[in-house]
Chains A and B, each alone.
Chain A
Amino acid sequence: MNRINKKLVEGKKLLSIYFTAGYPKLGDTVKIIEDLEKNGVDLIEIGLPFSDPLADGPTIQESSTIALENGMHTELLFKQLKDIRKSVSIPLIIMGYFNPVFQYGVEAFCKRCQEIGIDGLILPDLPLDVYQNEYEHIFKKYGLINVFLITPQTSDDRIEQIDSASYGFIYMVSSASTTGAKEGFGEEQKNYFERIASLKLANPQIVGFGISNAETFNQATQSSKGAIIGSAFIKHLAKNGVDSISGFIKNIR
């Protein structure tokens, strides 16, 4: 059983943290992962930086630009992660844009992920139909869970299609926005969270976008399985570096 699926059946609300590989320093990747696990985080999304991250707001864009300037690239990330399974057992997901994966070769990329012990991928600009027509069999061959996004604008029909194509969790984008654009939740989110809960989907949902502290984490996880923090963690790293990760996590739960 994939580490993500195992984690999803645990009876608690899951905290997932996103960070950009190669940021703030090129060599921080392994330390950040180890510290996140040590501090009780449940899932980690390792961002593979891209020059043109369409779905991201300024904070993650900036971290991607710096990571690329620092010299991060796909092969280097794989090298940094080579022995990661000797030190951590937390589920690991690589999140990035499709073009770098496509250039590496989708099959070669998935194979490396399996060798390292990566459990899943989130590629926001790899659309459902292309995934199903061309790549699903490759992801499955290498034991990778592909995570799809839904938003408040996604129709119930489309959500059901996505649910049936998923075999891990659904990444529930909390509002119509890029990452880090909005903080906190209003009436619209409440209605959306309730609508999704009422659909009784086969896959659990983890909420992302707009979560930055204990309050928003608790709101987001009331009717979902967990929540993802990205931009707020990147901001924390920008200010405090990698030495105070425990402080950030303790403030969430």
Chain B
Amino acid sequence: MTYNADERGYYGEFGGAFIPEMLYPNTEELRQNYIRIMEEPSFRKEFDQLLKDYVGRPTPLYFAERLSKKYNTKIYLKREDLCHTGAHKVNNTIGQILMAKKLGKNRIIAETGAGQHGVATATVCALMGIECVVYMGEIDIARQAPNVARMKMLGAEVRPALSGSRTLKDATNEAIRDWINNPVDTYYIIGSVVGPHPYPDMVARFQSIISEEIKWQLKEKEGRENPDYVVACVGGGSNAAGAYYHFLDNPNVGIVAVEAAGKGIDSGESAATSVLGKVGIIHGSKTLLMQTQDGQITEPYSISAGLDYPGVGPMHAHLFKSGRGEFISITDDEAMKAGLMISKLEGIIPAIESSHAFAILEHKVFNPEDIVVINLSGRGDKDLNTYINYFKL
């Protein structure tokens, strides 16, 4: 049994490409070429070089001694927060901009929620000198002014999504509409392991550098490649997909997925898709999603802008449904406290998304000899205002 995508882009019952015919030629072109291109030596070489010299990889695998002592287990942090632009997102945008170039595209579109993927996309477009349009919900534009400014400085055009709830899901709709209207010259850089096949698999492959490095880094430090647990937060799920990737088919490695419970699972303001979602279709993928009984997609909530997506990547839906992954939901309050704890204990201010992953240490007990890798997906600079307001700093 494998937990990776099959050739039709299915993870068990989840995935596929539920797209209108207008998008068929674009996704088909990508589907037919993505693996071949990714395996070309020239692509590999350029990708690896940029990850090393531009992104700053490999990111450290850091033994968190004080944190380990506190929870009486061995905890390593995978430091994706040290990537250029401040999070793992750039691993994927580097890969996809090279893919776009190979496919001869000269215009890039992207969606963004909090702005992290938008910034990572604008960054690689600046690097390559390619036109970039980022769709962002009108409400998010107001909430995330610094990231909007970053994208503008990087030369991107930020277009407000004015439809629906005017947040991430609507920005995604607008980006897809742009692609429908510009099918020939435009490439759509999706920011997570969501969307129609081949996006979830392609993004997971680009992010898989995270677990590839964990393996050899852990071998150096502990003499073994496989940890007992890998822990990551899941919104759409790209940092988690990358952290799990090379451990998916090894049952000895426990997979822990951390979702945002928002103000509580039953509060009506939550983003815990595995608990609250049902099987359906969102953004071209069959997966678990939060919806009304009638099949209308609902608006999720989390204090962390990167986790409030109403769906989850099909890989994660399958990990949940099959029982391969353990899913834990963490409230705003628990995540914020964990963020403060990591700051004081390890001198690292995590992104609130990543703080959710740390908060499970209060819920789940590990053995003293367990090796637990927590993916520190991003740094907290972008969240300072939220931390300030929350803790009245």
A: residues with CB less than 8 A from B are 50-55, 57-58, 61-62, 65, 68, 73-75, 97-104, 124-127, 130, 148-151, 153-155, 158, 162, 173, 176-178, 181
Contact = CB atoms under 8 A, between A and B. Distances in A.
A54 B281 contact: no
A102 B294 CA distance: 9
A178 B180 contact: yes
B282 interface: yes
A51 B296 contact: yes
A150 B25 CA distance: 11
A221 B291 CA distance: 40
Given A54-B173, A103-B294, A177-B181, A150 B282 contact: no
A17 B176 CA distance: 25
A65 B164 contact: yes
Interface of B: 16-22, 24-25, 163-164, 169-170, 173, 176-177, 180-184, 278-284, 291, 293-298
Contacts of B183: 151, 153, 176
Nearest to A74: B294
Given A50-B295, A51-B164, A101-B295, 18 more contacts: A51-B298, A54-B19, A62-B163, A68-B296, A98-B281, A99-B282, A100-B294, A100-B295, A103-B291, A103-B294, A125-B284, A130-B18, A153-B24, A154-B24, A155-B25, A176-B182, A178-B180, A178-B181
A124 B23 CA distance: 10
28 contacts: A51-B164, A51-B296, A52-B164, A52-B169, A54-B19, A54-B20, A54-B284, A55-B20, A57-B177, A99-B297, A102-B281, A103-B280, A103-B294, A103-B295, A125-B18, A130-B18, A150-B21, A154-B21, A154-B25, A155-B25, A162-B21, A176-B22, A176-B182, A176-B183, A176-B184, A178-B22, A178-B177, A178-B181
Which of A54, A173, A176: most chain B Cβ within 10 A? Answer: A54
A99 B17 CA distance: 13
Contacts of B295: 50, 74, 99-104
3 closest A-B pairs by beta carbon, nearest first, are A103-B295, A100-B295, A124-B20
A19 B215 CA distance: 56
Contact of A124 (B21, B278, B298): B21
A8 B281 CA distance: 33
A213 B184 CA distance: 29
A151 B177 contact: no
A148 B181 CA distance: 19
Nearest to B162: A58
A175 B372 CA distance: 53
Contacts of A148: 21
Given A61-B163, A65-B163, A102-B295, A151 B19 contact: no
A173 B21 contact: yes
Nearest to B18: A125
A55 B179 CA distance: 10
Contacts of B284: 54, 125
A126 B20 CA distance: 7
B77 to A, nearest CB: 36
Contacts of B25: 151, 153-155
A176 B180 contact: yes
Count chain A CB atoms within 10 A of each CB in B25, B282, B294 and give the residue with the most.
Answer: B294
Contacts of B181: 176-178, 181
A199 to B, nearest CB: 16
A58 B174 CA distance: 10
Contacts of B296: 50-51, 68, 100
A167 B353 CA distance: 50
A216 B181 CA distance: 20
A70 to B, nearest CB: 13
